[in-house]
Structure 1
Amino acid sequence: MLEKIKKSFRSASSKNGSYSVGMIALVICMVIVVNLIAGQLPENVKSIDISDNNIYGVSKTSKKVLNKLDKKVTFKIYAEKDSTDTRIKSFIKKYTALSDKLSVTWIDPVLHPAALTKAGVEKDTIVISCKDTGKTKSLSFDDILVSDSYSYYTTGSSSASEFDGEGQFTSAINSVTSEQTEKIYYTTGHGEATFSDSVTKLFSKNNLTTDEVNLMMTGEIPDDCDLLFMDAPSKDISDDEKTLLLNYLKKGGKVFIILGDPEDETPNLDEVLKEYGMQEADGYIADMQRSYQGNYYYIFPEITATDDLANNLESEMVLMINAHGLTTTDPARDTITTTAFMQTSDNSYAVTEDKQEEGTYTLGAVATEQITSDDSSDSSSSKTSRLTVISSESMINSQITDTYTTLENLDLFMNAVTANFDKTKNIAIKAKSLEVSNNTMQHAGIISILTIFGIPLVILIYGFMRWWKRRKA
């Protein structure tokens, strides 16, 4: 009996079977090892984003913030993990894997209802905190999955239209780890425009706080003002306000002016601009070369921005409508340097009812001056005054920025704002649309072309070659 068993193992079929079993065991071991190794890989490596519009993608801006992070930041998520939207869970996992300074704790409000009261938050909230600074910031899931409020008011129901995970997380981390907050005061009393929701959200994402000031009433600029903003005034400033602005700038202050459509002439505001090497041209600017589909008053300026002003600009496509123009002149002092960062082509005209004057016009400019204290020659005690001027309110008009979301109006605008602060960079990241991008024949992508035409063509050519070869045989 024993001899028969030995002979059976010596047969060819037995050897082949043993070889097959051994190979299967080896493959199973390899699969197990590969899975164990893959399980240890970072989430950003082992997860591939195949979502429409790349909602799980993390931009270079966020990666720079996370790479420079030197303080520990905690994400406490007060929600039932199993019932949390998969998109939020997946993004949290991928985002927090990018830095070992980030940690995540899930707290189930059903199992621990007292935790909500203790933290002072509602369920479906993420509390991002930094122990070193003692700062915290709370984000609702509704801040991440943004609903279409317009659809709600028109149809009575709404669904998530944008995903703002990256923008909210990066902004919150910057806020809780930052040692200071910059403050912007915007003027009132001259028929100024108001900031759109898009602009307000970008200010918040960059850790910038805002407040209003009426210079006629206060007679002074607040001591905690880091940037004085005048948004599209329709009336001129007074003589006292002109003096106040010029003295503020001469002491190293920062002023940002967006020109509006004034009802009358604005000699006092013009004098402020003139002192810093800018003069407003009469009428509206028409650009024969860089216009939107033949509408000459719809201008795509040439972007000449550098350094911080050019941060993260890719397409450099900015649209301005019915813009006024500026010409550069000699400033009041040799210490003032005026530089344009947006201008028209040389085939442009300043158009009024009476005339058309050809030239190249500035649509955005920055004037800087190094200010040194009288009681010290030490350069470390000096300040840099800065006057930023944009020639049209359409630069940040929501009808343009919300309609043409691929334009970089708000990116350039926020760069111009944050360039006024030494320790602040523009880290505001736009929310990503959740709308499905249909691939149509009118806008067919490479994959569509290959699928519709490429693969059938290859099959036809191969079939013809095989037929031709057999026909000759």
Structure 2
Amino acid sequence: MLEKIKKSFQSAASKNGSYSVGMIALVICMVVVVNLIAGQLPENIKSIDISDNNIYGVSKTSKKILNKLDDNITFTVYAEKDSTDTRIKSFIKKYTTLSDKITVKWVDPVLHPAALTKANVEKDTIVVSCKTTGKSKDISFDDILVSDSYSYYTTGSASESEFDGEGQFTSAINYVTSEETEKLYYTTGHGEASFSDSVTKLFDKNSMSTEEINLMMKGEIPDDCDLLFLNAPTTDLSDDEKTLLLNYLQAGGKVFIVLGESEDATPNLDEVLKEYGMQKTDGYIADMQRSYQGNYYYIFPEITATGDLAKGLESEMVLMINAHGLTTTDPARDTITTTAFMQTSDNAYSVTEDSQEEGTYNLGVVATESISSDTSEDADSSNSSDSDAKTSRLTVISSETMIDSQITDAYSTLENLDLFMNAVTANFDNTKNVAIKAKSLQVSNNTMQHAGLISILTIFGIPLVILIYGFMCWWKRRKA
């Protein structure tokens, strides 16, 4: 009996079978070991984002902030973990593993209802806090999975249109780790345009608080003003406002002006620009080379920005409509430096009803001046003892369409808001543009509007060649 068993294992079939069993066992062991090793890898390495619009991707801006974290950050999630949207859970896990300074705590509001009252938050809220600064910021799940309110009013049901996990988390970390918040005042009383929701959200993401001010009523610019904003005024400044603005700049202040549409002349506003080496041209600018589908008043400026102004710009595609032109002139003082960061091509025209003047025109300009305590005679007495030199800064953009929601919301690939926020944050020494756009949840379809030669080859040529080659191989083997 034993001899028969030994002979059965010595046969060729038995040897092949034993070899197969051994290989299967080896493969199973390898799979188990690989899975055990993979389970220990960080979440950002072992998870691959295959979402349609890369909603789980983390930008270089966020990674840089996370790598430089010195303070411990806590993400306290007040929600039922099992019922939380998978996209939010996955992103929390992936994002927080990028820094060992971040701790995540889940608090179930059903099991611990008193925790909501103690933290003064509602359920489905993430509280990002920093013990070092004592600051915290609340993020609602509705701020991460943004619903399309327009579809709600038209169809009666709101659909999720954007995922803003990265933008909300990075903004919150930047806020709770910053010692100060920049204060932006925007003027009223001259028919100024209001900021769109997109711009307001970007201000909030960059930890900037905003407040309106009427210079005629106030009679002064507040001491806590870090940036004074004139958003597309349609009427001129008064003499007192012009003097107030110039004194503020000469004392080291920061002013941002977006030019608007005015039917009447604006000599006082023009005088402010002239003192800092800028002059507004008459009419609108038409660009024969850099226009949108042959509409010469729809301009794609040449971006000449450098440094922080150019930070994060990739396509450098910015669209402006019915823009006024700016030319550089000699400023009032030699200490003023005027630099353009947006220009037309050299084949542009300043067009009025009576004339067309060809040239290269500026569409975005920055003027800076170093102010020492000895020369800032118009500064407040509270600042006169400050021996540190200040830098005044006047930023001018020649068209309000730069930040018009009808353009920025309709053309999501444009970088209007990126360049605009770079120009805003460049006014502050320790502030960088960390505002990150929400990512669309809309399914993008691959459509072919113009089937060119490459498209025809890809769709028909390559499959046809493969079929012919296969048929030739089959025919050759058949004859052999």
**TM-score class, shorter:** over 0.9
Secondary structure (helix, strand or coil) at the match of 1:81 reads: coil
Contact kept? 1:254, 1:387, Cα under 8 Å: yes
CA displacement 1:272-324 (0-9 Å, x = unmatched)? 10000000101111111111111111111111000000000011111111111
Aligned partner of residue 53 in structure 2, secondary structure = helix
Give 2:393's aligned residue: 386
Aligned residue for 2:92, secondary structure, equals helix
What do the CA deviations read for 1:236-293 (whole angstroms, capped 9, x no partner)?
1111111111111111110000111113111111111000000010111111111111
1:196-249 deviation line (CA, Å, top 9, x unaligned): 000000000001110111111111110000000000111111111111111111
Q: Distance in 2 between matches of 1:8 and 1:355?
A: 105
1:173 aligns with 2:173: yes
Amino acid at match of 1:201: K
Q: Please name the residue that 1:72 is paired with.
A: 72
Alignment-derived partner of residue 252 in structure 1: 252
Number of the residue aligned with 2:351 = 351
CA distance in structure 1 between the aligned counterparts of 2:235 and 2:86, rounded to whole angstroms: 52
- Judging changes above 3 Å, is the alpha-carbon distance between structure 1 residues 378 and 238 closer, same or farther for their aligned structure 2 residues? closer
Counterpart residue number, 1:146: 146
Q: Contact conserved, 1:343 with 1:364, CA < 8 A, in 2?
A: yes
1:414 correspondence with 2:392: no
What's the counterpart of residue 291 of structure 1? Answer: 291
Mean alpha-carbon deviation: is it higher for 450-459 or for 90-99?
450-459
For residue 308 of structure 2, give the secondary structure of its aligned residue in structure 1: helix
Q: Residues 276-355 of structure 1 correspond to what in structure 2 (within 5 A)?
A: 276-355=276-355
Counterpart for residue 183 of structure 1: 183
Is 1:134 aligned with 2:134? Answer: yes
Q: How has the CA–CA distance of structure 1 residues 147 and 385 changed in structure 2, closer, same or farther, with 3 Å as cutoff?
A: same
Aligned length: 473
The offset of 1:451, in angstroms, is 7.9
CA distance in structure 2 between the aligned counterparts of 1:164 and 1:444, rounded to whole angstroms: 35
2:459 and 2:42 map into 1 onto residues whose CA distance is 37
How far is the alpha carbon of 1:375 from its aligned partner? 8.8
- 1:426 Cα offset (Å): 0.5
Quote how far apart the aligned CAs of 1:68 are.
1.1
Separation (CA, whole Å) in 1 of partners of 2:27 and 2:456: 38
The answer as to whether partners of 2:160 and 2:441 remain within 8 angstroms in 1 is: yes
Aligned partners of 1:270 and 1:200: how far apart in 2?
A: 28
| Paired letter, 1:309 | L
C-alpha separation in 1, matches of 2:260 and 2:40: 57
- Which of residues 405, 412, 418 is equivalent to 2:412? 405
Alpha-carbon deviation of 1:459? 3.0
Q: Secondary structure at the match of 2:449?
A: helix
In the alignment, the residues of structure 2 paired with residue 245 and residue 375 of structure 1 have an alpha-carbon distance, to the nearest angstrom, of 17
Task: Work out the CA distance in 2 between the residues paired with 1:11 and 1:270.
Answer: 102
Residue 442 (structure 1) shift: 2.4
For 2:318 and 2:479, how far apart are their aligned partners in 1? 63
Cα distance change of structure 1 residues 96 and 457 upon mapping to structure 2, 3 Å threshold: farther
Is 1:431 the counterpart of 2:458? The answer is: no
**For residues 375 and 275 of structure 1, what CA distance do their matches in structure 2 show?**
16
Note closer, same or farther for the CA distance 1:451–1:284 as it changes in structure 2 (3 Å cut).
closer
Deviation at 1:468, TM superposition (A): 5.2
1:98-137, aligned counterparts within 5 Å? 98-137=98-137
Partner of 1:362: 362
2: CA distance, partners of 1:448 / 1:176: 51
Residues in 1 aligned to 2:260 and 2:387: alpha-carbon distance in whole angstroms = 37
* d(CA) in 1 for partners of 2:289, 2:350: 14
Report the alpha carbon displacement of residue 358 of structure 1 after superposing the two structures with TM.
Answer: 1.3
Deviating more after overlay: 430-439 vs 7-16 = 7-16
Query: How far apart are 1:64 and its partner, in Å?
Result: 1.0
Once the two structures are superposed, residues 122-151 of structure 1 have per-residue CA deviations (whole angstroms, 9 ceiling, x without a partner) of 111111111111111111110001000111
Question: For residues 187 and 130 of structure 1, do their structure 2 counterparts lie closer, same or farther at Cα, with a shift above 3 Å needed?
Answer: same
Question: Which residue is 1:441 aligned to?
Answer: 448
CA contact (8 A) 1:439 1:448 kept: no
Pair 1:15–1:460, CA change in 2 (3 A)? closer
Structure 2 matches for 1:57-96, cutoff 5 A?
57-96=57-96
Where in structure 1 are there 5+ consecutive unaligned residues?
none
Q: Distance in 2 between matches of 1:469 and 1:240?
A: 94
Aligned-pair RMSD on alpha carbons?
2.4
Shift of 1:3: 5.4
Checking the alignment, whether the CA contact within 8 Å between 1:80 and 1:109 is kept in structure 2 is yes
> Separation in 2 of the partners of 1:4 and 1:109?
70
Deviation string 1:147-200 (CA, Å, 9 cap, x unpaired) is 001111111111101111111111011111111111100011111111000000
Cα 1:170–1:346 change in 2 (3 A) is: same
Percent sequence identity is 85
Deviation at 1:89, TM superposition (A): 1.1
Could you say if the C-alpha distance between residues 378 and 237 of structure 1 is closer, same or farther in structure 2, counting changes exceeding 3 Å? closer
Does the Cα contact within 8 Å between 1:232 and 1:260 map onto a contact in 2?
Answer: yes
Q: Deviations over 1:25-81 (max 9, x none)?
A: 222111111001100111111111111111111111111111111111111111111
Q: Which moved more, 1:412-421 or 1:128-137?
A: 128-137
SS in 2 for 1:305: coil
Shift, 1:115, TM fit: 1.4
Classify the secondary structure of the residue corresponding to 1:442: coil
1:396 aligns to 2:406 (yes or no): no
- Contact 1:191–1:233 (Cα < 8 Å) also in 2: yes
How big is the shift at 1:105?
Answer: 1.3
Question: How far apart are the structure 2 equivalents of 1:453 and 1:75?
Answer: 53
TM-score (norm 2): 0.94
Counterpart-to-counterpart distance in 2, 1:32 and 1:443:
50
* 1:127 and 1:137 in contact (8 A); partners too: yes
Q: 1:85 to 1:188 in 2, by over 3 A?
A: same
CA distance in 1, matches of 2:93, 2:327: 52
Letter in 2 for 1:298: Y
Cα distance in 1 for residues equivalent to 2:12 and 2:214 = 98
1-side partners of 2:416 and 2:27: how far apart? Answer: 56
Q: Which moved more, 1:426-435 or 1:451-460?
A: 451-460
